[in-house]
Amino acid sequence: MLLAKQILKMPSLTALMLRFFFIALSILLSACATKHNSEYVEQTVDELYNNAYSAVLLGNFKKAAPLFDEVERQYPYSVWANQAQVMSAYALYQSNKYDDAVLALDRFIQLNPGNHNVDYALYLKGLCYYEQIVDVERDQKLTGEALFSFKALVKRFPYSKYALDANFKIDLVCNHLAGQEMSIGRWYMRQGQYLAAINRFQHVVTEFDTTEQLPEALMRMAECYMTLGLVEEAKRTVSVLGYNDPGSRWYEHAYSLVNTD
């Protein structure tokens, strides 16, 4: 009888296991908190920014980007916050994370339209697209985005130190887009779809008239017109070509097409 009373007073196995579990959990949480507190060191905004910038100087851009983000997160109203946004985008660009860089730059431009770094942000955004340009046979959406960004920079900040290179890249981008139009136009010609080809070549003439593709575009238009029996239109096109580029091989070929007598 005494033994039975002692057994009833003993805690159940489940209760013991639960007690052990909570004690172990308490010890684990305490250890984690101690470890976290020992690793965390509060830094000033100068220290955070300098650490991020040092990573840039060492070429460790993947490390630099989150460090710059931390500057903005911890000190959003400091004088370094806006600069950190731009530098984070630069680090992402250097890491070839172009989509993330563009998102960061768009956010900076929208939140700080009057900031003195907006011209650079537009330039860097254009570079993100520019460096992803593919050959003329493929989709040119990124090429168009690059053109839009560079043109926005030149229009808003014509005297920016980045405007000169932006203008140079605008010429290259336009030539690339014209090259795609020419490639499609030639394909239509090979398929015998001359009206569709003329539309492509005409687009080069009206939208990309400063590119090196212009003389060939005019010559191809003359070819299409002659094939369709539109001799007068062909002659007018050749006259335009002769006025713009009289010494080119494209003019010589076009001239021979409309002067067969």
Whose structure tokens read 């806006």? 82
Instruction: Pull the structure tokens for residue 111.
Output: 């939140």
CA torsion 48-53-58-59 (nearest 10°) is 110
pLDDT for the residue 36: 45
Closest CA to 56 of 82, 99, 89: 89
pLDDT for the residue 41: 56
pTM: 0.75
Q: What is the largest CA-CA distance in the chain?
A: 133
Rounded CA-CA distance 134/95 in Å is 19
Rounded CA-CA distance 130/139 in Å is 13
Task: Tell me the average confidence (pLDDT) per consecutive run of 10 residues in the chain, 261 residues long.
Answer: 40 47 50 46 81 91 92 88 93 96 95 93 96 78 93 96 96 93 95 96 93 93 93 92 86 82 57
Are 74 and 48 in contact by the 8 Å Cβ rule? The answer is: yes
pLDDT for the residue 48: 87
The H or E element spanning position 76 is none
pLDDT for the residue 28: 53
Q: Measured between alpha carbons, how far is residue 88 from residues 100, 121, 123, 127, 138 in Å?
A: 10, 11, 15, 15, 31
pLDDT for the residue 1: 41
pLDDT for the residue 208: 93
Q: How far is CA 222 from its chain centroid?
A: 38
